[in-house]
């Protein structure tokens, strides 16, 4: 059974004299594989018929090797087809169905869990359908999230990582990956601008966890007694972040027992940058109220506007008041790879900690986030619990390479290898070109929007990052005077267009309100596969879907 036909393009583009993996899989005859002898009473005459083969017939079953190979070859067929389709512009970004439709089952695809095992044929069909009804985030016309694209080398790295299935807590079970992480974190710290004597870090399950680490470390640095005595031993702590910062800062305060009410939200200017005078005033006010300021989060690349806080000015204030400076560069950290754009993060070397997500601008597969810490040893001092069953002091190797006691987790996924492999494949220069291209796409979109009367930019000045924010103005609103009624109607336009776009499935973009601004589109570029033709397509798609939208007046409702 061919569970998914392999794309012809793979075969067509094979180099003369060479042989691609896909060709080998497609042209391999059943006679090349000996039919497996399984413990099951229902053995199949040919390996590619999986209708009477079950998971118990795969390794570690006796004589299950050939069956396992054949099963994986069919699975690779499905994955390769999906990868190729993800890059085809004729392919849909998504085949949208409402939750109740997927729950009820589509074309034999059921999410319900059985009591009796299902055969491998059904599992392969389920794998195919899982991808079919998902979203192709690697598609060149997926503009919805900060993490997009499908890096083939990174994907290969993730496949290998899952195959190795090891844990990052000790050198004895993860020797190569532990060393890779040390080398890669050192490289990132060097790019940030720290000296060889400075720097520590760890890969975390996402930017939210990286930001949580920064608050945890800052609190321990100033009040180490919190580790044993808890928050009752501490004064009322206050941390500061901008109005446009990521919500994870407040979440971290809540999780760590500081309380979200003790997060002071500092005003931003109209471009989303923290106003430093407001920061200093807020710090002084907190001190006057008997509170203890200890931490400031500055953002390098805000989620919606792509704004960069003035890091040097904020660092000056932090040094003046003796506060921990954290830079959340989850989104903007990738610009450090570009000689042209890294100036936007000038002053990041003065931070005490940095969040950097390579799964965003650098295109690594999810998840890949690092917390970088300037003070070496602080991670271990803060988190160490000396579990004797893992971290024995009399091991026969250098136990400083056991990283598990530096983290708040025990089990930790290997997130480093895919990025390490990508770096080997591209070099730093390759990442620089990739980042530059994404920002060039943003500049192209900005220029196009300026020329079109049916669109309106949220900002008239050029974007700092690859975020471009805009409204589509349907004909029914173009002659309306600015005011509450126009805003009310305009607020409904983006959601209606987004709904139509998802039903059609050929592109995907996000929208949101922010402050006093009604719903607007936010287009972000982090996929190097996206070309200017895709940007042009997006605008035409939005205009086509939104042209006939007519929002009723309040008197019509």
> Mind giving me the DSSP string for 386-447?
--TTT--TT-SS-GGG--GGGSS-SS----HHHHHHHHHHHHHHHHHHHHHHHHHHHHHHHH
Q: How far apart are CA 244 and CA 148, in angstroms?
A: 22
Q: What is the pLDDT at residue 523?
A: 99
pTM: 0.91
Q: How far apart are CA 195 and CA 557, in angstroms?
A: 64
Q: What is the pLDDT at residue 48?
A: 76
Q: How far apart are CA 216 and CA 257, in angstroms?
A: 10
Q: How far apart are CA 22 and CA 421, in angstroms?
A: 22
User: How far is CA 214 from each of CA 274, 325, 379, 463, 465, rounded to the nearest angstrom?
Assistant: 19, 9, 10, 28, 24
Could you give the angle at the alpha carbon of 141 between the alpha carbons of 138 and 143, nearest 5°?
85
- On the CB side of 36, CA atoms within 13 Å amount to 27
Rg (CA), the chain: 27
Enumerate residues 6+ apart whose C-beta is below 8 A from 420. Answer: 157, 180, 183, 184
User: How far is CA 364 from each of CA 155, 174, 246, 340, 418, rounded to the nearest angstrom?
Assistant: 8, 21, 21, 21, 7
Q: What is the pLDDT at residue 27?
A: 39
Q: Bridge-partner residues for 514, per DSSP?
A: 517
Q: What is the pLDDT at residue 554?
A: 56
Token pair for 504: 């059609």
Q: How far apart are CA 28 and CA 48, in angstroms?
A: 11
- Burial string for 176-204 (b: 16+ CB within 10 Å, else e) reads ebbebbbebbbebbebbbbeeeebbbbbb
Q: How far apart are CA 23 and CA 202, in angstroms?
A: 40
Whether residue 387 contacts residue 162, with contact meaning beta carbons closer than 8 Å, is answered with no
What's CA 224's distance to the chain center, in Å?
Answer: 32
Q: How far apart are CA 279 and CA 285, in angstroms?
A: 10
Token pair for 316: 């000056």
Enumerate residues 6+ apart whose C-beta is below 8 A from 27. Answer: none
Q: How far apart are CA 381 and CA 227, in angstroms?
A: 10
Could you give the angle at the alpha carbon of 169 between the alpha carbons of 164 and 174, nearest 5°?
35
Q: What is the pLDDT at residue 25?
A: 34
Domains identified in the chain and CATH numbers: 8-115 (no CATH), 195-380 (3.40.640.10), 423-556 (3.90.1150.170)
Q: How far apart are CA 213 and CA 250, in angstroms?
A: 13
pLDDT in tens, the chain (557 residues): 554 444 333 333 333 333 433 343 343 333 333 334 444 444 444 467 999 999 999 999 999 999 999 999 999 999 999 999 999 999 999 999 999 999 988 877 899 999 999 999 999 999 999 999 999 999 999 999 999 999 999 999 999 999 999 999 999 999 999 999 999 999 999 999 999 999 999 999 999 999 999 999 999 999 999 999 999 999 999 999 999 999 999 999 999 999 999 999 999 999 999 999 999 999 999 999 999 999 999 999 999 999 999 999 999 999 999 999 999 999 999 999 999 999 999 999 999 999 999 999 999 999 999 999 999 999 999 999 999 999 999 999 999 999 999 999 999 999 999 999 999 999 999 999 999 999 999 999 999 999 999 999 999 999 999 999 999 999 999 999 999 999 999 999 999 999 999 999 999 999 999 999 999 999 999 999 999 999 999 999 999 999 999 876 655 54
Q: How far apart are CA 215 and CA 245, in angstroms?
A: 14
Element (H, E) at 119: none
């Amino acid at each position: 059974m061919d569970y998914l036909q392999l794309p012809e393009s793979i075969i067509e583009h094979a180099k003369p004299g060479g042989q691609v993996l896909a060709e080998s899989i497609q042209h391999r005859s059943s006679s090349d594989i000996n039919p497996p002898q399984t413990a099951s009473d229902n053995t199949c005459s040919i390996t590619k018929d999986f209708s009477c083969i079950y998971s118990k017939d795969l390794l570690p079953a006796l004589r299950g090797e050939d069956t396992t190979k054949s099963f994986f070859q069919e699975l690779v067929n499905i994955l390769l087809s999906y990868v190729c389709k993800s890059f085809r512009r004729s392919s849909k970004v998504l085949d949208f169905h409402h939750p109740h439709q997927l729950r009820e089952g589509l074309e034999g695809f059921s999410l319900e869990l059985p009591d009796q095992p299902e055969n491998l044929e059904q599992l392969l069909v389920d794998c195919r359908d899982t991808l079919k009804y998902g979203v192709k985030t690697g598609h060149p016309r997926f503009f919805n999230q900060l993490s997009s694209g499908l890096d083939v080398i990174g994907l290969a790295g993730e496949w290998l990582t899952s195959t190795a299935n090891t844990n990052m807590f000790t050198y004895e079970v993860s020797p190569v990956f532990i060393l890779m992480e040390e080398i890669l974190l050192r490289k990132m710290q060097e790019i940030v601008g720290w000296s060889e004597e400075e720097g520590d870090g760890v890969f975390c399950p996402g930017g939210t966890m990286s930001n949580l680490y920064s608050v945890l470390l800052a609190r321990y640095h100033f009040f180490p007694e919190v580790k044993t005595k808890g928050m009752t031993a501490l004064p009322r702590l206050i941390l500061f972040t901008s109005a446009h910062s990521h919500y994870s800062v407040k979440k971290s305060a809540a999780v760590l027992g500081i309380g979200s009410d003790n997060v002071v939200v500092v005003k931003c200017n109209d471009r989303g940058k923290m106003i430093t005078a407001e920061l200093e005033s807020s710090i002084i006010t907190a001190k006057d109220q008997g509170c203890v300021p200890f931490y400031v989060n500055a953002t390098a690349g805000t989620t919606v506007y792509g704004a960069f806080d003035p890091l040097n000015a904020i660092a000056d204030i932090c040094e003046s008041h003796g506060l921990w400076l954290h830079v959340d560069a989850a989104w903007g950290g990738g610009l450090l790879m570009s000689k042209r754009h890294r100036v936007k993060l000038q002053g990041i070397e003065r931070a005490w900690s940095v969040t950097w997500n390579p799964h965003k601008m650098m295109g690594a597969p999810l998840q890949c986030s690092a917390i970088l810490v300037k003070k070496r040893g602080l991670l271990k001092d803060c988190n160490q619990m000396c579990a004797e069953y893992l971290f024995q002091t009399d091991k026969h190797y250098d136990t400083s390479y056991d990283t598990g006691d530096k983290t708040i987790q025990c089990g930790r996924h290997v997130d480093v290898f895919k990025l390490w492999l990508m770096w080997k494949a591209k070099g730093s220069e390759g990442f620089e070109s990739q980042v530059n291209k994404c920002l060039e796409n943003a500049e192209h979109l900005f220029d196009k929007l300026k020329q079109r009367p049916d669109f309106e930019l949220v900002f008239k000045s050029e974007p700092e990052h690859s975020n471009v924010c805009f409204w589509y103005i349907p004909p029914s609103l173009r002659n309306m005077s600015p005011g509450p009624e126009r805003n009310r109607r305009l607020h409904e336009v983006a959601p209606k267009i987004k709904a139509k776009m998802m039903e059609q499935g050929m592109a995907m973009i996000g929208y949101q309100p922010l402050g006093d601004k009604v719903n607007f589109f936010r287009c972000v570029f982090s996929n190097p596969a996206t070309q200017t033709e895709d940007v042009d397509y997006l605008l035409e798609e939005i205009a086509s879907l939104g042209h006939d939208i007519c929002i009723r007046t309040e008197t019509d409702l």
